Amino acid sequence: MTDPDTGKREKFREIFDRHKNRTYDFALRMLGDRDAAGDITQEVFLRLYRAIDGNPEIGNMQNWLFILTRNLCLNEIRDSKKEINIDSLDFVEAVEADFARNDVRQIRKAMSALDAKYKEVLVLREYEGFTYSEIAGILGITVPAVRSLLYKARLMLKENFEKISIKR
């Protein structure tokens, strides 16, 4: 007799292998903290495992994962209610020793200082490589709204980037 969980496990493994890095990277860039990003990613995949059980046909898996990750990250940002000290973020510090990657560090710093609504749209586009249409699906907005939001986010990023460059 075959194990009734086998199909579920195989399906989970397939989805996990396909989306694990992008999901973790998205949470990391949203929160700027490896431990918090790890906790969120873990929660996302545990919920996915339970959801596969009850809903064998989750429509758009990619959207489902990123909407959940995004919501959990926004909750974490809201609940932590702490002032973010960009210089103390381990994600930003990780590139400090490498002088060849100074511009990367500056970008990370500038990104970390953005409001969540700008940060999420930029991360989805620049780092996770989603199209405007995919981002619209995840954020629940229209494609023109994504385009406008990305422009504003880049303006804010440019401002932050210039401030950081002046400080150095």
Question: Given the rule CB under 8 A, which residues bind other proteins?
Answer: 3-5, 9, 12-13, 16, 20-25, 28, 34, 38, 41-42, 45-46, 49, 95, 101, 103-104, 106-108, 125-128, 131-132, 147-148, 150-151, 154-155, 157-158, 161
Residue nearer to other proteins on the CB measure, 48 or 77: 48
Give DSSP secondary structure letters for 43-89: HHHHHHHHHHHH-TT-S-HHHHHHHHHHHHHHHHHHHH-----GGG-
Q: Minimum distance between the CB of residue 16 and other proteins, rounded to whole angstroms? A: 7
Cα–Cα distance list, 5 to 10, 13, 37, 102 (Å): 9, 12, 28, 48
Q: Minimum distance between the CB of residue 99 and other proteins, rounded to whole angstroms? A: 13
Give which of 137, 128, 9 is closest to 61, Cα–Cα. 137
Q: Minimum distance between the CB of residue 126 and other proteins, rounded to whole angstroms? A: 4
Distance, in Å, from the CA atom of 90 to the CA atom of 5, rounded to the nearest integer, reads 39
Q: Minimum distance between the CB of residue 56 and other proteins, rounded to whole angstroms? A: 15
Residue nearer to other proteins on the CB measure, 34 or 84: 34
